[in-house]
Structure 1
Amino acid sequence: MDLRGTVAVITGGCTGIGRATTLALARAGAAGVVATYRRSAAEAAELVPEAEALGARALTERADVADDFAVRALAATALRHFGRVDILVNNAGTTRAVPEHDLDALTDADWHEALDVNVVGAFRCARAFAPALRAASGALVNIASVSGYRAGGSSLAYGTSKAALLQLTRNLAGALAPHVRVNAVAPGTVATRWQTGLHGAEGFAERARAERETVPLRATPGPEHVAQAVLGLLHMDLVTGEAVIVDGGKHIRY
């Protein structure tokens, strides 16, 4: 896929991995980017001039992927503004940190929210944008997690939801073929506000330092490294149903 002149929608696209992906697409020549947010209104306002300075028309929209009406409205807005959508990046996600051994602390509400946002939310977006993506012979990338492959992560519900998202990626690759390619990126520990929110600034710094001692590439991925993988998959015209792990090789040491 030639990214020049494309229009991309990035859910959760105003902070962290989503923001890095939005700006990377603008830098690569996308004509239009639509980034969604749920609570990050200030960051959304800051993103627009940054993306437009890179040459893309930028639009930010408040949208909750747990709300099907909001998702369908988002698709209609993107098409009304840009006339097409070539790329969808399902990056919006949620979690609540719960120690894996504390089963009683993981509530039904935690499960419902993780699955509704991280899995069903991605499906809602794929369904709403499928007609536009088919018309454009476009591509979809889901942001999963290495927690979808191994035990661990912020909670049992989060890891399970990301494993389900990896399976959804494979199923959508079949359902949307041959016109739309569907792949995933599975980050490990990435230096973002998400991580400092879960562990605190000092806690995350120590966690990342300890990981770097064993990770083969001796580095903590940043959001820009995940964005690199997203753009890499977008460029791979005959790759679908695959997932790329971005963790500096951490997963080979598990």
Structure 2
Amino acid sequence: MDLKYKTALVTGGGTGIGRAASLALAARGVSVAVNYSRSRDDAEETVRLITNGGGRAVAIQADVAKDMEVRDMAEQVVRHFGAVDLLVNNAGITRHIPFDDLEGATEEVWDELYQVNVKGMFFCARAVAPYMRKNQQGAIVNLGSIAGQTGLGSSLPYAVSKAAVHGLTKSLARALAPEIRVNCVVPGAVATRWWAGREEQMKKLAPQMLLKHISTPEDIASLICTALEQEAMTGQMITVDSGQTL
């Protein structure tokens, strides 16, 4: 799929991987709807970066964990740009809880992480699917994590929620074919604000990787764009982790 002149919705598009994906898509001629929940200033800054470079973008507030807000967001994107061709399901949250602290993985934590990380991605895919089907084409990329493959990560509920995202990707690929392709980009450690307060831990991790460096948001964004472009691929997990899981 040639991405030029297409319209993308990027959830959590104001910071980190979401911002990098928004900028990378805009550089390819895509009009970008930058979703945010609370990070309004960051989302509007992403929009400014795109429009200052001659691109088209708009910031749209919606909590992806709330189905009606998501449906309204999809309608806003179509009203503003006329279509929604691409979805980058990037929005996600975590809680840092030691794995052996089973009591720390409360029902509230489970519900919160699943509501955003899993149900939120489903809500967004469901909301954009009718518009993509109407145009007989569309592509979705979900953001997974190696935590969903290894069982390790910032917390047990987070790792399990990302494993669910990987399963959701395969199920959506079946449900939305043939008009809509659904794939999952699976990052390892990425240098984003999620490491705030744990920078030393991140620096110690890099030498253990085959490529000796932590991935950047731009690394992940590049693969997101490639997955959106690839018309002969659906239901796939694509790992980009500098060899971390080998």
TM class by smaller structure: over 0.9
In 2, are the aligned partners of 1:7 and 1:85 still within 8 Å (CA)? yes
For residues 185-224 of structure 1, the aligned pairs below 5 Å read 185-196=185-196, 200=197, 203-204=198-199, 206-224=200-218
Secondary structure at 1:34 match in 2: strand
Partner Cα distance (1:118, 1:45) in 2: 23
Name 1:142's counterpart in structure 2: 142
In 2, are the aligned partners of 1:27 and 1:55 still within 8 Å (CA)? no
Name 2:115's counterpart in structure 1: 116
Partner Cα distance (1:16, 1:113) in 2: 21
Partner Cα distance (1:27, 1:213) in 2: 32
TM-score by length of structure 1 reads 0.94
Partner Cα distance (1:58, 1:145) in 2: 27
After superposition, the C-alpha distances for 1:84-123 in whole angstroms (9 at most, x for unaligned) are 1110010011111100000011110000011111001100
Name 2:125's counterpart in structure 1: 126
Q: CA deviation at 1:54?
A: 3.1
Name 1:229's counterpart in structure 2: 223
After superposition, the C-alpha distances for 1:131-182 in whole angstroms (9 at most, x for unaligned) are 1122330100001111000121111100000000000000000100000000
One-letter amino acid of the counterpart of residue 219, structure 2:
H
Could you tell which deviates more after superposition, 40-49 or 85-94?
Answer: 40-49
Secondary structure at 2:9 match in 1: strand
One-letter amino acid of the counterpart of residue 84, structure 1:
A
Secondary structure at 1:250 match in 2: coil
In 2, are the aligned partners of 1:29 and 1:55 still within 8 Å (CA)? no
Secondary structure at 2:208 match in 1: coil
Name 1:97's counterpart in structure 2: 96
In 2, are the aligned partners of 1:144 and 1:185 still within 8 Å (CA)? yes
Name 2:22's counterpart in structure 1: 22
Aligned-residue CA RMSD (Å) = 0.9
Name 2:66's counterpart in structure 1: 67
In 2, are the aligned partners of 1:166 and 1:243 still within 8 Å (CA)? yes
In 1, are the aligned partners of 2:14 and 2:34 still within 8 Å (CA)? yes
One-letter amino acid of the counterpart of residue 63, structure 1:
A
TM-score by length of structure 2 reads 0.97
Q: CA deviation at 1:213?
A: 1.4
Secondary structure at 2:32 match in 1: strand
Q: Which runs of 5+ in 2 are unaligned?
A: none
One-letter amino acid of the counterpart of residue 171, structure 1:
S
Identity %: 47
Query: Does residue 80 of the first structure (1) align with residue 79 of the second (2)?
Result: yes
Partner Cα distance (1:226, 1:125) in 2: 20
